[in-house]
Structure 1
Amino acid sequence: MPSEVSNVALRVDGLGKRYQLGERESYLALRDVLSRGVSASLRRSRRRDRAADSSFWALRDVSFEVPSGEAIAIVGRNGAGKSTLLKILSRITEPTEGQAVVAGRVGALLEVGTGFHPELTGRENVALNGAILGMRRREIQSKFDEIVDFAGVERFVDTPVKRYSSGMRARLAFAVAAFLETDILVVDEVLAVGDAEFQKKCMGKMGDAAHGGRTVLFVSHNMTAVESLCRRAVWLDGGRVVADGPTPDVVGRYLSTSFSALSERTWPDLESAPGTDAVRIRRAAVRPEFGDPSDPIDVRTPVAMEFEYWNLRPGALLNLSLHVYNAQGVMVFNALPYLEKEWQGRPFPRGLYRDTCHIPGDLLNDGTYRVELLVISDSRTIYKQDEVLVFEVRDDPRSRDGWFGAWEGTVRPQLGWETEQLVDSDAAVGEHR
């Protein structure tokens, strides 16, 4: 990290933020204070103990520097401290300990419509936000047309913003933060709202800001957008910095640990393994078909799901059935081993078996999936285990073409397309005249 003060846009040193949980203490009347004066010292001691027990550190000992003109991502799970950090850097809240030194003016978009007065018009709110940022009226007026054009609210610019839709407020709020010439642009989950065109414009504008020498702090759960915009990322977990470095490295570590606990599970002891007196599960795993098992899975990755199990009854006719659900609880598919050639339809001797289900690439949409395992014998379910596996499928920016919104649908296959010209343009127009 750079050490020259002139090149540092942000310096965070030992930053911590503590919140007090629970309700405020009720007030005491004067008579209560007089009558309880003897035990006042004891009560104060107890209150201090309760305060220590009920305090919560949203951030603790966070330190990093950001050079001027760098786009940096802040990643982490919900509750990791990302928004608290941005609020401190934006001077919305004060830290409990440590310091954050910000060089220059900060334009922040932390929530849709933050800083807007609902009774004021769009025009008036643009002027108000510019004034809050310390900009002169001439500066605000010189950018006004660009702001309104980017936000697409020309017809409603003199309408109170309380009548705007959430998408309109988001577009105008981002335009104000992006076009007013602040030194540092702070954006928290701007891609969570708005349509595909707006999201693409936002990413382009943030890229332009970074390339133009402005510093950008970007918080998002969309790792494709993070990797497209930022070369460096800081990973927060439990209010502390877990990793700080090149974005692909940090994002890879973050995603690989998010669901690793349920991507492979083993029960080596037959007696305690889940199951029944007919069958018991020894191991379940989901991994990339090729490469290292710890490699992340993206929408193009062929996937193998493996299940090892003990058959405890000689001559059993067994099948495994897999129900794969997305994060919304919709069953994406049900897989059965009908095409398996070695054991399908044959009686199983007692022993240990492994079934592998192969899922082709370019099928699953990005998101979180959970797998329900059913063991079928003689056309009936003899054992069922919900959420035997949970795994994450990452997005792939190569198929995005600059758009970072949610890709609709439970699956996301890459299907063949053909386009052919039937008639040239002049002839086609001539036919309809």
Structure 2
Amino acid sequence: MSASGDLKKRPCPGIEDVQDSQTTKKRLNEDGKKRHIAALILARGGSKGIPLKNIKLLAGVPLLGWVVRAAIDSQVFDSVWVSTDHDEIEKVAKACGAQVHRRSPEVSKDSSSSLETIQEFTRLNPDVDIIGNIQATSPCLHPHHLQEALELMTQKGHDSVFSVVRRHHFRWQEVKKGGGASTEALNLDPSRRPRRQDWAGELVENGSFYFASRQLINKGLLQGGKMAYYEMLPEYSVDIDVDIDWPVAEQRVLRYGYFGTDKLEAIKLLLCKVSGGLTDGQVYLTTGGEEMVSINTRDTTGIVMLQREGVEVMLLCSSETPVSSSLAERLSKRTGCELLQDVGPGQVDELMRRKGLAWKEVAYLGNDEVDVDCLNLAGLSGVPRDAPVVALNATKYVCHSPAGHGAVREFGEHILLLIKKAKSKMEQDHIRRDLF
């Protein structure tokens, strides 16, 4: 969806009409047609630092999924693309909602530059007028960053815009003399070292995105013409190159990442599968021929944690697995959770009508193909790490833990974390309204 839209009709022209007209003109190309603005995320399969890092799970979401979500929800792009040479990345990109540009081997080499890949995309997509090259390794990107940056091109007339972060680092240059090495200051006078509060710092590219016009790209440039920078705060300036960056990025994205437009603080119910969720799907036989299954106390603790925070938990079981049904009945009594049998989307709809809930207020932990519809519809959905691919592609969160070994506890903590994050944001917004 493009941010341009049609001109509003008013009974008589005023200054707002003039401003709308000027904005619309700036969004037209030389032929008078609306400019096509495309987001392009480069995700080659041959990453050397972290193999297939573009689809590695970061906080339960494939890495490129974070920026695809931000790009789509920004609603400023006419199309959102992932450029890749890898089958698995293509599958993940489509599951995240992006279109796929299958790049050629010529621009998929270790020596290939980003610009070469973008130029190939523009040659194959002649209708695209502005490219927003978004880096998959910037998981703390938010829709408003893209919206505000693009306005510099569509409303201010810039040819290129790129993201930066302000740093207060004193830099020194290595100087080799004879057989030794010394150094000299690059951006300070050592005899007059400024205090941080007295120094504006320097603007450094943070690699989150680069917007450029088609004409500029055809000239072999991503930055040029009438240029502008878009400054992002340090907490959103995250990049991932090597393994050591991963745990730091995961903690940062849990605190500052963009989790979508759903109001997660409204989640009131968790529907949790017993078989493949609370259990690992294995059935143990005793010497006497009795069937047994096991559960993890961490998972039952996770259920109690949710209940304490006002989130109701219901257990789902299948009549086809009598052992799990028997276990579910005992768990239901032990945890106070209502037990539902052979539940599908229709039964969940009826349940929600009875309770006065909407899908966005429901979290769903499933584990297989039968859960796909509910995983897609739920406001927040999760699956264990060892779930089949069809379930992995349908869910919004993939647990690090496998079924029966802490997945329910992990998903419960994820729900509570997002609820806390959403409530904190609401409080901050309330404070800002009071102040301004």
Higher helix share: 2
TM over 0.5: no
TM-score for both structures, normalised by structure 1: 0.27
- Give the number of the structure whose alpha-carbon radius of gyration is greater: 1
TM-score for both structures, normalised by structure 2: 0.27
Higher strand share: 1
